[in-house]
Amino acid sequence: MSENDRPYVLPMNFALDGDAVILHSAQSGRMWETLQKNPNVCINWTLGEELAWQDERVGCSYRVKSKSAIVEGSVEIVDDYDEKVRCLELLMAQYSDRDFKFNSPAIKNVGVMKVHIEKISAKEFGAKPDTPWNS
């Protein structure tokens, strides 16, 4: 998302729900206000920190082995109470197998968003199994 044509990036917890990414936040603040003006977002996930190299003396031969996924889409604000509960249950299930309860004020005061996936891409970067990279 961007504000005044400036990128704005936030780390956020998420859950997947079919062709949508579920996010939550406060219903105020810079992110919320930006989404009201521009619902288009880009989400990035990256895994990997392992270094690999072809020649340890040559800086340009170093790589970070990583995998990434990028989603582009538009945000729908979820207002329906029961749908907010369902989305929050999905979020919590992403991080724990415990059952959670949500009280009414918590549901009413939390902002829940669905990012409808319009484009998705993924990449694996760094040493490939058949490349003579050391690590």
Query: Residues 4-16: pLDDT tens digits?
Result: 677 778 889 999 9
pLDDT confidence of residue 36: 87
74, 118 Cβ separation under 8 angstroms: yes
Which CATH number belongs to the domain containing residue 108 in this structure? Answer: 2.30.110.10
8, 1 Cβ separation under 8 angstroms: yes
Percentage of residues in the chain having pLDDT higher than 70: 90
In a domain, 43, yes or no: yes
Whether the per-residue pLDDT at 132 is higher than 60: the answer is: no
Whether the per-residue pLDDT at 134 is higher than 90: the answer is: no
In a domain, 27, yes or no: yes
Whether the per-residue pLDDT at 110 is higher than 90: the answer is: yes
Nearest to 20 by CA among 121, 117, 119: 117
pLDDT confidence of residue 3: 62
Q: Going by C-beta distance under 8 Å and a sequence separation of 6 or more, which residues neighbour residue 73?
A: 20, 21, 40, 41, 43, 115, 116, 117, 118, 119
Work out how many domains the chain is built from and give that number: 1
Q: Which tens digit of pLDDT belongs to each residue from 53-84? A: 888 888 888 888 889 999 999 999 999 999 99
- What are the beta bridge partners of residue 38? none
Query: What is the span of the domain harbouring residue 39?
Result: 2-125
In a domain, 7, yes or no: yes
| Cα(134)–Cα(53) distance, integer angstroms | 5
- What is the rounded average pLDDT for all residues in the chain? 88
Q: Which residue shows structure tokens 């005061």?
A: 109
pLDDT confidence of residue 69: 94
In a domain, 46, yes or no: yes
In a domain, 135, yes or no: no
In a domain, 131, yes or no: no
DSSP string, 32-65: HHHHHH--EEEEEEEEEEEEEES-TT-GGGEEEE
